[in-house]
Structure 1
Amino acid sequence: MDVPATPGTALAALAAHFAAMPPVAALQPTVDAAGDGRLRLRAPLAPNINDKGCAFGGSLVSLMTIAAWGLVFLELAQAGIEADIFVADSRVRYLKPVFEDIVVEAGFDDPSERATLVGTLRRQGRASIRLKSESMLADGGVAASFVGRYVAIVRTTGQHG
């Protein structure tokens, strides 16, 4: 991107990106809310159910992973930066089963890293940042927690991603 994207344009680009990846599209994620360094995704239970009638752990970790990835994508799109974003490592904890539609919320593990992400990427062409996601229950509890380190690398002309 040569110019910063508006929040609406960035969200549309994120939704298109999710839809273009078959494993992600199969989860059926939708953006529930975005802004102020947070991204909340929602996915129906039915396509993500396991043999016990609750959400499949692989779906939970996948949704938490893409929520954090999507948050980096939105931050960079709104700054006008095209970059390839990779999850470098992560840790997940499963705390409670989910017997309802899945809601995950991602945010920056350290708000000061959010403040330096764009500047570091512009100066060095790459940046590393830690994000966290949680799978939330309707009663306010946390079903699963995720912390991941993501790496963003500025695209050079001719690269696709």
Structure 2
Amino acid sequence: MQIPSSSSPDALLAALAAHYMAMPPVAAMQPRVLDWEDGCLRMHAPLAANVNDKGCAFGGSLSSLMTIAGWGLAFLTLAQAGQEADIYIADSRVRYLKPVYDDLLVEVRLDTAGEGADAIDLPGALRSKGRASVRMEARTVLADGGAAAVLVGRYVAIARD
């Protein structure tokens, strides 16, 4: 995905949303980028497009939405710094804690656990090494603010030649 000519937050979010909708499996989930503030990307998807046979959210949809949200945060972090890279999820672990009977709301942030007080410098690592790895933590948030599912994933960015 290329960085739009304008690197304003609105332009980057619009480019991210268009990228998601260009992938048929992702478009079928009907995800919507809500906002990106203070290092947190928030996304939404309607329950009706992601429902299982029990009337709650399909676990695969929860995992998928959290995975693409983490990918999106990596893209936004790099694009804001003017860097393009191929971004992949390298590994992830998902915990399903409670069923979701409402629309899906996901929040994702860099996971700095074990990284000390400083946030990970994804653009700096990519610039100096041509490759960078970052951990993200995504949560599917319930109406009461609790977590329905949590994904911890490691994303890899490889600089384009």
Q: Which amino acid aligns with 2:91?
A: D
1:11-50 to 2 correspondences below 5 Å? 11-50=13-52
Q: Which residue of 1 aligns with 2:152?
A: 147
Pairs within 5 Å for 1:3-14: 5-14=7-16
Query: Who is 1:93 aligned against?
Result: 95
Structure-to-structure mapping, 1:128-143, within 5 angstroms:
128-143=133-148
Distance 1:129 1:41, change over 3 A: same
What TM-score do the two structures reach when normalised by structure 1? Answer: 0.92
TM normalised by structure 2 equals 0.92
Aligned residues with identical type, % of pairs: 63
Q: Which residue pairs with 2:130 in the alignment? A: 125
Query: Taking structure 1 as reference, are residues 4 and 153 closer, same or farther at Cα in structure 2, changes over 3 Å only?
Result: farther
Unaligned runs of 5+ residues in structure 2 are none
Equivalent of residue 51 in structure 1, options 50, 53, 56:
53
In structure 2, distance between residues paired with 1:63 and 1:126: 25
Q: CA deviation at 1:3?
A: 7.1
Deviation per CA, 1:1-51, whole angstroms, max 9, x where unpaired? Answer: 497711111111101110111111111111112122110000000010000
> Aligned ranges for residues 59-138 of structure 1 at < 5 Å?
59-110=61-112, 112-114=118-120, 116-138=121-143
The CA deviation at 1:112 is 3.0
What's the C-alpha RMSD, in Å, of the aligned pairs? Answer: 1.5
- Whether the aligned pair in 2 keeps the contact of 1:2 and 1:80 (CA below 8 Å) is no
C-alpha contact 2:52 2:58 (8 A) present in aligned 1: yes
**Distance in structure 2 (CA, Å) of the matches to 1:52 and 1:128:** 37
Q: Secondary structure at the match of 2:34?
A: strand
The letter for the 1-side match of 2:153 is G
